Structure 1
């Protein structure tokens, strides 16, 4: 159980990184962009991806154009993955108590 949580955290961060790459390449392909106070760099794309994956949605960086669809897909994916991970951790903790 002790190695489960860092593994899940790493997998969620990797998923956010993949979506950040999607935002980056989507911008390069002219599908849209991330808007905010300054032109987004790689850290802004990863930050937006993490905020979006956790469905927090702060709004300081936001997608425009067709990248809005990718942002919606990421929110749904993040909600599903976080819910499944929480359920798995809960079941693992419950089994070790019995």
Structure 2
């Protein structure tokens, strides 16, 4: 169980660092780009989505690795043991969509629970960031 807690901590920490770095880069470079406001917002959304996609793949790689080890549980149901199935499961868990066609068993369940919480927090962070950024642009640039 200590190994699983350590893996959870590493995966979540890596995801948070990726997210922070993406949002930091967006906050630094968006104001410097000389384009219309609406395009800055589009770039901000695309950058945020890119961060989320990378984070989903971090979790997918963790699921895939843990399943390959064979001692931490499995994903069962409509699952073919491919990295793409792990990515699919990860995106449904990260976004709390949870379609239910793949279910975790064993210790991997803890990673799934942590991923749902992490996804909620990071998606909310992105929404807050974009709200603040859009307020800056809408106040300073009337010809969007």
Coarse TM-score class (shorter-chain normalised): over 0.9
Indicate the residue corresponding to 1:88 in structure 2.
129
**Structure 1: 4+ residue segments shifted above 4 A:** none
CA RMSD of superposed structures (Å): 1.1
Q: TM-score, normalised by structure 2?
A: 0.65
Distance 1:12 1:62 in 2: 22
Aligned residues: 98
Indicate the residue corresponding to 1:62 in structure 2.
103
Query: Which one has a bigger Cα radius of gyration?
Result: 2
Q: TM-score, normalised by structure 1?
A: 0.93
Indicate the residue corresponding to 1:24 in structure 2.
64
1:97/1:38 CA distance change after superposition, 3 Å: closer
Matched, 1:33 2:74: yes
Indicate the residue corresponding to 2:112 in structure 1.
71
